[in-house]
Amino acid sequence: MYGPKGQSSGAGRPPAAPKKVTVPDIRARKANGPPIAMVTAYDFTMARLLDEGGADMLLVGDSLGMVVQGHPTTLPVTVEEICYHGRAVARGARRAHVVGDMPFMSFQVSPMQALENAGRLMKDGAFESVKLEGGEEIAEHVRRIVAAGIPVCAHIGLTPQSVHAMGGFKVQGKGEENAARLVRDAQALDEAGAYAIVLEAIPPDLAEEITAAVSVPTIGIGAGAGCDGQVLVCYDMLGMYPDLRPRFAKRFAEVGEQIMAATRAYVDEVQARTFPGAEHSFKPNGPRRITPPAEPAAAVLEEIPPHWQTH
């Protein structure tokens, strides 16, 4: 592991920074593989772990409105909030490409509004690309952003910013007409210059058809195994909602159970006064002295872990 300023926590030198995943790398995965592994992240500590684990792309999704802030939808999320979380995630992402979600009403108004806010995400949020929800109707917005040199990841199918129009978080693309519209949407976004397209909650055969119909990688969530990559919300992937099991979200760990068990053990030890023990305490001060101890402040700081020293 490495500290926030790149310092090695062991005796050796800091590890060399790994090569960043770039937009051309992501595009090339369509032809050459391996499938893209994308996951959401909202803070520095989680980003660092997901990056070390090998995630190719970290998405600061507007899902943060639901999983970080506790709202029932993503609609309240602001550009400022996405940028705040983006800066934290960017500090933890040494290799992964970092994508910022454009929140509700930050791009729908016009291609110019979309361009201005995409620019804010890149400048204030430290993002390397932006993601927009919507189909053919936002193709012009995508074109304007891409023309300014900002890479765009598109997002079709279940688009949570339209939850009220869709009547809930429901599978999309059912029936001939809806399926054909989604294929047209994907082609329009590909043609407008998007470098990847997220396909959310659509039947797997339709996702395969779309994947074959576009020149850029598709990244599925609830869209089957035929996409060029997959994305999950990190807390779903880690099993942090013990009572919520969406069909599409495989739990790769049971971190929620572990957090609760660890908390119960901590509470028990605090109440029993068995924590902190001598091994978790600093050296006793000895008999009370009038004059301050002679050690320089740096000697005390050495005992404090590197991630504390930054605060």
Binding site for ligand KIV (CB under 6 A): 40, 59, 61-63, 101, 155, 198, 200, 221, 231, 233
Say if residue 20 carries a ligand binding annotation. no
Question: Cβ closer to ligand KIV: 146 or 231?
Answer: 231
Question: Cβ closer to ligand KIV: 225 or 262?
Answer: 225
* Strand, helix or coil for residue 225: coil
Output the smallest distance, CB 298 to ligand KIV, in A.
Answer: 43
Q: Outline where 42-162 has alpha helix (H).
A: 44-52, 64-67, 79-92, 111-124, 139-147
Say if residue 131 carries a ligand binding annotation. yes
Output the smallest distance, CB 52 to ligand KIV, in A.
Answer: 21
- 57 phi/psi in degrees, rounded to 5: -135, 135
237 Cα distance to chain centroid? 12
Is there a catalytic annotation at residue 191?
no
Which one is catalytic: 81, 200, 208, 209? 200
Q: Which token pair is 303?
A: 């005992």
CA 190, 194, 198, 200 dihedral sign is negative
Q: What is the DSSP letter of 285?
A: -
- 27 phi/psi in degrees, rounded to 5: -60, -40
Say if residue 106 carries a ligand binding annotation. no
Question: Cβ closer to ligand KIV: 163 or 259?
Answer: 163
Helical (H) or strand (E) element with 40? strand 36-40
Say if residue 190 carries a ligand binding annotation. no
Output the smallest distance, CB 65 to ligand KIV, in A.
Answer: 8
Question: Cβ closer to ligand KIV: 146 or 233?
Answer: 233
> Any idea which residue has 């995409």 for tokens?
118
Query: Of all residues in this chain, which one has the CB nearest to ligand KIV in the complex?
Result: 61
Beta-carbon neighbour count of residue 188 at 10 Å? 21
Residues 175 and 177: their CA atoms lie apart, in Å, by: 6
Output the smallest distance, CB 10 to ligand KIV, in A.
Answer: 34
Say if residue 63 carries a ligand binding annotation. yes
| Binding region for Mg(2+) | 62, 101, 133
> Catalytic residue positions?
200
| Binding region | 62-63, 101, 131, 133
| Binding region for 3-methyl-2-oxobutanoate | 62-63, 101, 131
